[in-house]
Amino acid sequence: MPSLWSVAVDAPLPEPLTYNATSEQEPLLAPGTKVTVPLGRRNVDGVILGSLGSPDKLNEATNQTTAAPKFKIKDILEVDQSYSPVPKIYLEWSQWLSQYYLHPIGEVTQTLFPPLKKGNPKRKSKKAPVLPEVGELAPVPTLMAEQESIVKKISAAEGFQVHLLFGVTGSGKTEVYLEVLEKTLALGKSGLVLVPEISLTPQLIQRFSKRFGQKIAVLHSHLTEREKTDQWWSIVSKEKSILIGARSALFCPMENLGLIIIDEEHEPSFKQEEKLKYHARDAAVVLASKMNCPVILGSATPSLETWQNAQSGRYHLHRLKQRYREVPLPTIQVVDLREAPKCPDASWMSQILYTKIRDTLERGRQAALFLNRRGTAPVVICQACGKVYECSNCDISLTLHHGKDLICHYCNYYESYSTTCRQCHERKVYPIGLGTEQVEKDLRLLFPNAVVARADRDEIQNREDLETLIREMEEGKTQILVGTQMIAKGLDFPKLDLVGFVFADVGFSIPDFRSVERSFQLLTQMSGRAGRHARNEEERGLVLLQTLNPEHPCLKHVLQADFVGLAEEELQARSELNLPPFGRLACVKISANELESCLTFSTHLRQRMLQLKDRPNYQEIEVLGPSPAPIEKLRGKFRFHALIKGRENRTLHAYVQQLMGQGLVVPNKVRVSIDIDPLHLL
């Protein structure tokens, strides 16, 4: 007699489906087994969640008295024996992810498998090696007293605990990671290290490789699909015991996992914005609780959610108050662009920044300039009629690149730049503003004998580009580095003495309640690149912050390296407004090709939201919108957002599930998605 199995199918379905297994298939099936099943007119992948017994038992459980079921149960087509079943804990964790982030279980479980089938282990890649070549292992550096104390406390703790490692930039957090990880491996367990994509640099991989040699596997987006698959198998087969990667590495099943490390835990890139909108940090904490292992969250500028958890005692707080080997923190100086004398050959550069760059180069040292805007200029406008050149697919201005291309940074729409206006035909179309390309061009003219390099997504497009950039900075071949937030974190250059912010105000006016927090994080992290190897006060690094808003409250805390003070002010404001970490948020995102369709459905959803909110169990819920998103049109689709606020997760989830549940009819022309704990509200 055939048996029935619950299968999570790779399709946007809210619940698993039931399928028959033949007597030949049944011995091969277990929770976590990958299978192929029919769905409509096509065949799809699926993962076994569990056995439902025989059809007779199913009828008894559902109180069906008729012999024939109300629908035909289809057969499992194939059992994929090329993969071992997903471990039970990962299967339970994937079900938690599905329920918490309100995402189809079948799409979640598919992330637990590599992109390709297992390949030939002897095949050689033609690209650069995933890991650097490792010669003799480096000697283990002597820990400072602060580091040693923290390592002992974390290592002595048993079972699941969350540890916040809060240390100033350059305080030696990585050495703490390495020591605790070494003790974990000595117990016969494995370790997972998650880093934000932008920080996954050859420098970090090199440090871990020197300590652990060939025990390391790596997973991130700069690898090919085949490389990702090979690295995945090296962990699953237990050939390697340490996995370092970006957020997606979290889904590689690791048996006997003994430690999870989240470096730069505050980074927004740990939140996935498409499909399964999970936060890797939060998901990792839940996985660790199921694995009964510790988690280390490291940052010089923790997220306020994590900081509040540490203040409340939910997380264990460990502080590193000074740089490794007592290297002094850099001097930070604010330059008021409203009053400071300007460099005559570059209007964006103050005279003091020019002088300090010149002095730095004369000493044989390096400088880095930061501007979080790519291209030559962010806006192109006709000064005769006022026409601003915008993307035809997005509600955003086009950015000038190379002095001749107008490009949209959201959808990559392209058109050629001309000084003749398409609207009034006057030859008065000019770029306005500043981007990294223009900064690089000006620097080459101002310092013709210096080697200038640029690091942004236009210039650095693959692993080899990034490795070359870092190697040439380490070797001193590059004297001036200009870049976006790509250079703000995780980089350690011994000769880098000067950091200059071309325009520190970029993030201050973003319409997001997290803008002050994020600005502080970015300014502090980038400042921390300066003078990391200074041997005394005379060699102390220097940071110049050019700004039009020297009185901005964020800058006061940056100057004093005062994260605690900033956190207290921000948490007080958020507490009064019931914003995270004191309240919970969900964002309903509505999109359609036509504005009318988007508007009509948004109006209908608004009525449903208010009716549901009137029920007694949802009195605490607040609803805002739906209203046009800050960027109303993106990639050809009009967008409306509704923000839902609640004091606790359980009530918020129940409200959203009921809102999106039975009775809600979504037209074919409209797409609706749910973002639990949203980080980006644009």
Rounded Cα gap, residues 219 and 207, in angstroms: 16
Q: What is the CA radius of gyration of the chain?
A: 27
Q: Is 250 in contact with 288 (CB distance < 8 Å)?
A: no
At residue 511, what is the residue type?
P
For residues 354 and 463, membership in a common domain is answered with yes
User: What integer pLDDT is reported at residue 490 of this predicted model?
Assistant: 74
Give the CA diameter of the chain: 91
For the whole prediction, is pTM greater than 0.75? Answer: yes
Which of 111, 127, 162 is where one domain is finished? 111
pLDDT band at 220 (very low <50, low <70, confident <90, very high): confident
So what's the pLDDT on residue 81?
Answer: 92
Do the domain assignments include residue 118? no
Count CB atoms within 10 A of the CB of residue 677: 19
Do residues 464 and 568 share a domain? Answer: yes
- Asked if residue 445 and residue 424 are part of one domain, the reply reads no
Helix H or strand E segment including 317: strand 316-320
Cβ-in-10-Å burial (0-12, 13-18, 19+) of 490 comes to buried
**pLDDT value at position 661?**
87
**What pLDDT score was predicted for residue 467?**
85
Taking a C-beta distance cutoff of 8 angstroms, is the pair 15, 105 a contact? yes
Give per-residue pLDDT as tens, 570-629.
Answer: 999 999 999 999 999 999 999 999 999 999 999 999 999 999 999 999 999 999 999 999
Domain limit, last residue, from 308, 323, 338? 323
The reported pLDDT for the residue numbered 123 is: 55
Residue 77 has pLDDT above 60, yes or no: yes
Give the pLDDT score at 136: 59
| Cβ partners under 8 Å of residue 240, min gap 6 | 214, 215, 216, 217, 234
User: Helix, strand, or coil here: 189?
Assistant: coil
Query: How buried is residue 559: exposed, middle or buried, by Cβ count under 10 Å (0-12/13-18/19+)?
Result: middle
Q: Closest by alpha carbon to 367, among 202, 559, 530?
A: 530
Q: Are residues 366 and 506 in the same domain?
A: yes
Statement: residue 240 has pLDDT above 90: yes
pLDDT for 68 beyond 50: no
pLDDT score for 548: 93
Pair (417, 496) in one structural domain:
no
344 and 479 housed in the same domain: yes
Report whether 161 contacts 294 (CB < 8 A): yes
Residue 95 belongs to a domain: no
Q: Are residues 595 and 552 in the same domain?
A: no
Task: Confirm whether 119 is domain-assigned.
Answer: no
How many domains does the structure of the chain reveal?
5
Looking at the fold, whether 181 and 311 belong to one and the same domain comes out as: yes
The reply to whether 513 falls in a domain is: yes
pLDDT for res 297? 98
Q: Give yes or no for residue 479 having a pLDDT over 80.
A: yes
Torsion angle in degrees (nearest 10) through CA of 263, 264, 269, 275: 40
Contact 152, 307 (CB under 8 A): no
The strand pairing partners of 170, in sequence order, are none
Res. 132: pLDDT tops 90:
no
Task: Decide: 31 and 112 in contact? Cβ < 8 Å.
Answer: no
pLDDT above 70 covers what percent of the chain?
Answer: 94
Instruction: Output DSSP code: residue 537.
Output: G
pLDDT exceeds 70 at position 56:
no
CB neighbourhood size of 126 (10 A): 6
Which segments of 383-426 are extended strands (E)?
399-401, 405-407, 414-416
Does residue 127 carry a pLDDT above 70? no
For the domain that residue 664 is a member of, what is the CATH number?
3.30.70.600
Residue range(s) defining the domain that contains residue 8: 3-86+106-111
Summarize the confidence of residues 217-243 as an average pLDDT: 93
Looking at the predicted structure, is the pLDDT value of residue 69 above 60?
no
Q: What is the pLDDT of residues 550-577, one digit of tens each?
A: 999 899 999 999 999 999 999 999 999 9
Using one digit for the tens of pLDDT, what is the confidence trace for 251-278?
A: 999 989 999 999 999 999 999 999 999 9
Return the structure tokens found at 563: 């994260």
Evaluate whether residue 63 is within a structural domain.
Answer: yes
Q: Which residues pair with 299 in a beta bridge?
A: 166
- pLDDT at residue number 158: 87
Domain contains 643 = yes
Residue 124 domain-assigned?
no
Dist. CA 36–CA 152, nearest whole Å: 49
pLDDT at 481: 96
* Long-range CB contacts for residues 458-463, cutoff 8 Å, separation at least 24: 458/374, 458/375, 458/401, 460/486, 462/222, 463/127, 463/128, 463/222, 463/223
Instruction: State which H helix or E strand residue 152 sits in.
Output: helix 145-156
Q: In this structure, what is the dihedral angle of CA atoms 34, 37, 39, 42, given to the nearest 10 degrees?
A: 100
Q: Is residue 116 part of a domain?
A: no
Of the candidates 229, 459, 446, the residue with the CA atom closest to the CA atom of residue 358: 446
212 with 279, same domain? Answer: yes
- Position 328 scores a pLDDT of 86
